[in-house]
A and B are shown apart, each in its own frame.
Chain A
Amino acid sequence: MAQMSSSGQAPPRETSPAPASGSLPPVPAAASGGRFSINLRQSGIYIAFALIIVLFSVVTDGELLKPQNISNIIVQNSYILILAIGMILIIIAGHIDLSVGSVVALTGAIAAVLMVNMHVAWPLAIIITLVSGALIGAWQGYWVAYFGIPAFIVTLGGLLIFRALTLTVLGNQGIGPFPDEVRTLANGFTSSYLGNIGLGPLGGADLLTLLVGLAAVASIIGTQWRTRQGRIGYRQQVDALPLFILKIVAAVAVVMAVIVQLARFKNLPWVLVLLAVLVLAYTLLTNRAVFGRHIYAIGGNLNAASLSGIKVKSVTFWIFVNMGVLAALAGVIFAGRLNQAGPTAGTSFELDAIAAAFIGGAAVQGGVGKVIGAITGGLIMAVINNGMSLIGAPSERVLLIKGLVLLAAVAFDVWTKRRAGAST
């Protein structure tokens, strides 16, 4: 038996230490398998989107991709997409917001009372409405972040409370009509400042819209190229050049196809301009901003985040404020589109926004999700809605299909995750 006398002394010299021999480096095969499944997980949603578009183009005899229909899909779903942007941040942080439908109704009602009943100038009225949205978000954010009540409960309460306030404000009747400027923002198109040009067999198209499209394409190519060069400069792995070009060409083709169709119809819908700005801004926020990173950190591991000095409560509070503002924006647009703020406005919008986020690859446990994914998820539902109504499917079947798509998307996510876990 070893005696204590030897224990306090320095280790014997002749036995050399054995550094690192025990720990096995990750097996390359497993790692590449993991990368493949991650890719599948990330790109699966876009592949599914493309397939759904092809499917409905075929069954509607190309009706789906006609200029007016594309414009309709965007305008009719803009408010859901705006809600989905706010919702994805909340879901990434591991929470949920069930109240956004009621908030849409309440903020729409506030905007209507201000503009129609009180004749407040429309820009000021919109600002006041957005501030009310922020206050609503702050109210809910306070209970979730600082008081520690699960968001599910707080926003379930909110769903009832804000619907009640809507009814109180409106006195159980619709208020309208809205000023023309607000209706244009919600429902209208950019003016044809530069006139039309001919596109041969495609007929006439708005020049400004085409130029905006070209500018967008140029900036996509430019930023992607700069990002790639930057990464190469830091010796990071990048896609091979042919693959990179292929991806860019695909993106450019989709953007230009949509733009050309819109230009042939009635120019750019204002809500599309607004959405583009929001998507860009929130993509930047989630990818690049410290604040955005903190949202992912909180959703990924709340304990680790707070032990890393991240101000968990403050971040949680502000994403609810943000949700409130976006819901108010959606509220103004929805009311403007209908030209009336109604007591039942926004009913079950929260479910569409949540479904969009989950179809778009967000994880139920939090920590995972992308703005562009939520937008794609929202568009998938929009195309299903639109395509099925084009072929005259009854609404119960539309609901059925949407439900199954949601289930399939999340099942796919769980399945890929389990497979990735099994490969280690």
Chain B
Amino acid sequence: MTDHILQMRGITKTFPGVKALQDVNLTVRKGEIHAICGENGAGKSTLMKVLSGVYPHGSYEGEIYFDGELSQFSDIRQSEKLGIVIIHQELALSPHLSIAENIFLGNERAKRGLIDWNRTNAEAMELLERVGLHENPVTRAMDLGVGKQQLVEIAKALSKRVRLLILDEPTAALNDEDSAHLLNLLRGLRDEGITSVIISHKLNEIRAIADSTTILRDGRTIETLDMKNDAVTEDRIISGMVGRDLDNRYPPHEPTIGEEVLRIEDWTVHSPSQRGRVVVSGANLTLRRGEIVGLAGLMGAGRTELAMSVFGRSYGTDISGRVYKNGQEIQLRTVGEAIQHGLAYATEDRKRYGLNLIEDIKRNISAAALGKLAKRGWVDDNEEFRVASDYRTEMNIKAPSVLSVTGKLSGGNQQKVVLSKWIFTDADVLILDEPTRGIDVGAKYEIYAIINKLADQGKAVLVISSELPELLGICDRIYALSAGRVTGEVSRADATPERLMQFMTKEKE
């Protein structure tokens, strides 16, 4: 018997066109709290899905040893049977069910098919006691705050006799008090012998709670740090997360920056789902002609929310602030108005928000500016075909014809269709949200070249990206966002990953 509860060896997981994990190794000792950190897209969540059997055995390469035994999970039930429980970032409670019902969901306390409610609620009480949640077990999950829901999730895990608890960004949505309680709880569970793996962006938390930390970058294991060693500082972790060469992955570009095109002042946005929660707070941004500006921030920093709220109030409620276009204040109440004022927003989620996947390339490209192809409300089909074909050539969209259905294109080609659509609206301010997400390296280079070309044509481009090297590689200036605030602005010359990461992880001052 080893003192390792978990060993993952040589894990490689490939998605069409993208290698998400490459030869990843993870060793977790019994009874420790093990942190995993890395940038967005480094492969943390994918690794946990491999571990828990969401991606079944056979869909990845490599071996998993749990408690010294080779494990080949074909679904999540099998891993749960061994005591591996994963708590996802988006909590998976059923809102209309009670706490007790949620805890024993799929694992009901029943006798001959009938639920024993007394036992259910009594056992739920005991579990709630263990996680320090003082609520009536018949309370509905939707009536609890996020922090308490998190505790219910942990109680649920305990009900399954958890041995290895995996938490994906457990404190991302919690306030300081709830976070502190959660971290204390994890320490308590450690003393009971439960091993935890915690994925987190919050370096101070990792510093406070983790016994060891494994850093992932670009789908590879970089190193595992022993946190008891005093030399491990937050800066040390940051350098592990971002430290990589900027090689030839970005086309060279000499910007010609002109006058200001768009200025956003004191922009504040509230969450439409959580009453009173401020998502973007007093943000100020300026974009200039011919300039590529980056917007950096960790998950939940409010980047997409900022962009979408500006783009015709597509997100958020109770929005305040001012937008100036070429020095004139403008109103952007609807997406139509935003497009008329020359704004474009290419979404981070092409499939859900960007494309009509059952429709062909031609009709997707024309979708946002159909009026340009129409006379008195009638569309000129042939002209539409010509325009789309021109974009297909210009953007190098690899498809047999513009009549090909967009749902069948690769991620890179889909993105080129989205970009074509927005360029065709004659926008002069383009907001590109994660323009290279899920796109392979070769196509990324092409997208960067397109972005450079747009800037050379005098357009202002705002690039939102979770990949710091990407921002450093293509942007002339970068804003950093943390918890809805603009916490820093750095020019290309002054930008380093460390500096940005410091701004991005800056808490309220």
Contact = CB atoms under 8 A, between A and B. Distances in A.
Interface of A: 1-4, 6-12, 15-26, 28, 30-31, 34, 230-231, 233-234, 236-237, 284, 287-291, 293-294, 296-297, 300-301, 303-311, 363, 367-368, 424
B379 interface: yes
Interface string B343-369: 001010000111111110001001110
A5 to B, nearest CB: 9
Contact of A290 (B245, B378, B495): B378
A207 to B, nearest CB: 35
A7 B347 contact: no
B440 interface: yes
A404 to B, nearest CB: 27
Given A11-B248, A307-B353, A26 B409 contact: yes
Interface string B241-257: 00111111111100000
B175 interface: no
Given A23-B440, A34-B405, A307 B378 contact: no
Nearest to A233: B382
A308 B367 contact: yes
Contacts of A300: 356-359
Nearest to B243: A2
B400 A28 contact: yes
A22 B442 CA distance: 5
A290 B373 CA distance: 9
A4 to B, nearest CB: 6
B496 A11 contact: no
Contacts of B246: 6-9, 11
A290 B358 contact: no
Contacts of B405: 34
Contacts of A31: 399-400, 404, 408
24 contacts: A2-B243, A3-B243, A4-B498, A7-B243, A7-B244, A12-B248, A15-B248, A19-B442, A20-B442, A22-B17, A28-B400, A236-B385, A288-B381, A289-B377, A289-B379, A293-B370, A296-B356, A296-B359, A297-B356, A304-B353, A308-B367, A363-B358, A367-B359, A424-B408
Contacts of A363: 358
Closest 10 CB pairs of A and B: A22-B442, A300-B356, A308-B368, A25-B398, A22-B440, A23-B443, A309-B335, A309-B336, A309-B339, A234-B382
A301 B358 CA distance: 9
B17 A19 contact: no
B142 interface: no
Contacts of A3: 243
Contact of A303 (B251, B353, B366): B353
B248 A290 contact: no
B496 A8 contact: yes
Given A23-B443, A300-B359, A307 B250 contact: no
B429 interface: no
Nearest to B398: A25
B367 A304 contact: yes
Q: Chain B, interface size: which category?
A: 35 or more
Contacts of B335: 306-309
Contacts of B413: 23
Nearest to A306: B335
A368 B358 contact: yes
A21 B442 contact: yes
Nearest to B401: A237
B314 interface: yes
B371 interface: yes
Given A19-B449, A31-B404, A231-B382, A311 B398 contact: no
A26 B399 contact: yes
Contacts of B381: 230, 287-288
Contacts of A15: 247-248
A424 B411 CA distance: 13
Interface in B473-509: 493, 495-498
Contacts of B396: 20
B352 A20 contact: no
Contacts of A24: 17, 410
Contact of A288 (B338, B358, B379): B379
B244 A23 contact: no
B447 to A, nearest CB: 11
B243 A308 contact: no
B368 A309 contact: yes
Nearest to B246: A7
A297 B379 CA distance: 14
A26 B367 contact: no
A11 B250 contact: yes
A11 B379 contact: no
A17 B445 contact: yes
Contacts of A22: 17, 440-443
Contacts of B63: none
A4 B497 contact: yes
A233 B381 CA distance: 12
B359 A297 contact: yes
A415 to B, nearest CB: 16
A41 to B, nearest CB: 12
A297 B405 CA distance: 14
A234 B386 contact: yes
B268 to A, nearest CB: 22
B398 A306 contact: no
Contacts of B245: 2, 6-7
Given A234-B386, A236-B382, A309-B368, 18 more contacts: A1-B243, A2-B244, A8-B472, A10-B252, A11-B247, A15-B247, A16-B248, A18-B248, A25-B399, A26-B404, A26-B408, A31-B399, A234-B385, A289-B379, A293-B363, A307-B314, A308-B368, A309-B312
Contacts of B357: 300-301
